[in-house]
Chain A
């Protein structure tokens, strides 16, 4: 075991001095000065594109800074590659995981690490150490499993193990929670605390305010490549942080008006369906959705939410039960017929199911309606009509794009979601199903999407909102339906304490606790 341990110096402090990094046409980091210490969680908070990842890539030796300096333990360093940074004990878990799927956990961990039996690999010696580390942190990773067989959460742990294996004393985690379920986030926070307790320094990148407030010792907010604020969780709150991130005060621009109606629009009766593996994913699900109501479906990812949305949208076969829209059964109808009967759908997989990436925004906007007499005569499309209508929709829905002709793939997640909204809502639907509408979307766009959802709810259209973000659920929902293992665990009002909803989401055995500053024995506040 000692044979493959290298002596890596311990990082006491890292200092960035006036670091500037440019990409063609983009100033990604603008004279950023920051210092990091060991045994601390230092959070970098910022919207998508703020320059967080780039700054950390500079600190990790992937990009050379155009200007500025990096100091480790007080002396200047020049990293030519991540290998140099690793030699100083700096490790990084990237936003896109840097694992090789077909290789085993062990092979991924020892990749480019000196082998005592060079030129041959020495997996046996490495295995011993990896198992020990995995047990120490309670990771429970099988070192011989292939990475592609692991869940996202497990893959993240492999990344962390790989860094620990290299005796890193300073660990950068780039948006590690973006891919995790709420439950996994809790576990992950525990791991961070362990790492800090063991003397590691942590840079934690996120754009989620709750997480920043929960775990940080220090918070730095980046916007447009610049540092716009430095604080600690005890000296700030969500509103202030959100303001710093977006550059203006974030106040909800929407308001729910009036109570939900009584008329049942969608009635789901004893619905059952299977997932892609052929296992039962929905089991006897029944609920009513009323006029002007947001019914939010809460649950840990993988408990049937995806299948629920897809069965109603007509993308998945049902095993049994009925889906009644305005009294008539949708079960026998295909997707097109369901669209015609007034169903609008914002799918979870926005890049693959929501848009055709290569198509222009115009084409994406009219994807559903291109066959209607308004846009087509016979087999020919009416180009002018289409363009005018699509351009208007893109404007109405505040899509930030250089032109309506660019391919959808070139837009950010938030803007793509607005394109989808423009398509789905411009057809005046009778029912909206929105699956994870704001996942990975920045605050500004999230606000906008929320506004649109509430707007059509206020107009009387019922909305089935599926989300893993409890804040979103509580602020938008009229009623909350909790799914657990494909069954309705209960339907409760949004005023129900978050702990209770959390308990229902996990079948009833976990406690939703938030810790942080002295006075924070309360659940996270909602705006």
Chain B
């Protein structure tokens, strides 16, 4: 037991927690934006898979990781337009169409992988990039500032999302469209346009989350279904976060730190069945959610409701 509390193990735990949280941050913040505008994008998982494959394939073929990332952004935008078309323009039932997008992403990423690459290949992903000065801060420096730049970008997106949502005219429009689209419409805001923008940005962020799973790893590889449910967890974290970027940060870190912790608690073999630690991140997150739902939750009340002028739901 004592060895568990060695500094290297603890540092490893925290570093792993930050790394594990990164895809949740990208995908969760993107999903939060989409939901804030009233669109539940359940296809995040599928979009992550597309982003994971496209970024890896383009980076592998071109030898340029940034080109891979750009490709993921474009693919994410395309998937976002598709999602928005189905959910906003065609007014489909968002839960069901989201599952469709997920299955599409799962199938397409697997199919293109087979057609283009055929077998598992590996390459170097983005390397660690220690930030001078900051990396020398005790503990925090090693944990937060000795990661790759995608991790920093994800962390930076938290205050940026917060500022966009609460401090900009665009964020105010998004909040109004997600809560009372009739009000927004009556003031000349195009509900459709705002929703398209949010869904597309959210999908791009999901795609980047996928890219982090491949080219965002030191040793990069694409395998089928590499997201393994992380997209769905990201969607759940948005509810946990009560649609607040800081909540997404808290949720992503809570879940990932406990995950990193359980991976290590298994190692020291304290005689409990491994299923319990494996479930631990889910259990703790649900318990925290249950304990914290007191007080008024001001969620986007128009979530999943397509907008039709003059029809109040």
Contacts and interface: CB of A to CB of B under 8 A. Distances in A.
So, do A and B actually touch in the complex, CB under 8 Å? yes
A341 to B, nearest CB: 40
Interface string A85-108: 010000010101111111100011
A111 interface: yes
A101 B179 contact: yes
Given A62-B186, A98-B186, A100-B183, A111 B173 contact: yes
Interface string B287-313: 000000000101001000000011010
B2 interface: no
Contacts, number: 82
B187 A82 contact: yes
Contacts of A84: 188
B114 interface: no
A112 B298 contact: no
| Chain B interface residue bracket vs A | 20 to 34
Contact of B175 (A62, A82, A92, A102): A102
A86 B182 contact: no
Q: Which of B170, B172, B175, B184 has the most CB of A within 10 A?
A: B172
Contacts of B225: none
Interface in A58-89: 61-63, 81-84, 86
A121 interface: yes
A380 interface: no
B196 to A, nearest CB: 16
B35 to A, nearest CB: 14
A120 B167 contact: yes
A108 B310 CA distance: 20
Contacts of A110: 169, 172
Contacts of A94: 182, 186
B186 A92 contact: yes
A138 interface: no
A102 B173 contact: no
Given A81-B190, A99-B180, A121-B169, 16 more contacts: A62-B309, A63-B310, A82-B185, A83-B188, A96-B312, A101-B298, A102-B175, A102-B179, A107-B175, A111-B172, A111-B173, A111-B189, A112-B184, A112-B189, A119-B168, A119-B169
29 contacts: A62-B185, A62-B309, A82-B186, A82-B188, A83-B188, A84-B188, A86-B188, A92-B186, A98-B182, A98-B186, A100-B175, A100-B180, A100-B184, A101-B179, A101-B180, A101-B301, A102-B298, A103-B172, A103-B175, A107-B175, A110-B169, A111-B173, A111-B184, A112-B169, A119-B168, A119-B170, A120-B169, A121-B167, A148-B296
The 9 closest A-B pairs by CB, nearest first: A83-B188, A102-B298, A98-B183, A98-B186, A112-B187, A100-B176, A82-B188, A100-B180, A81-B188
Interface of A: 57, 61-63, 81-84, 86, 92, 94, 96-103, 107-108, 110-112, 115, 118-121, 148
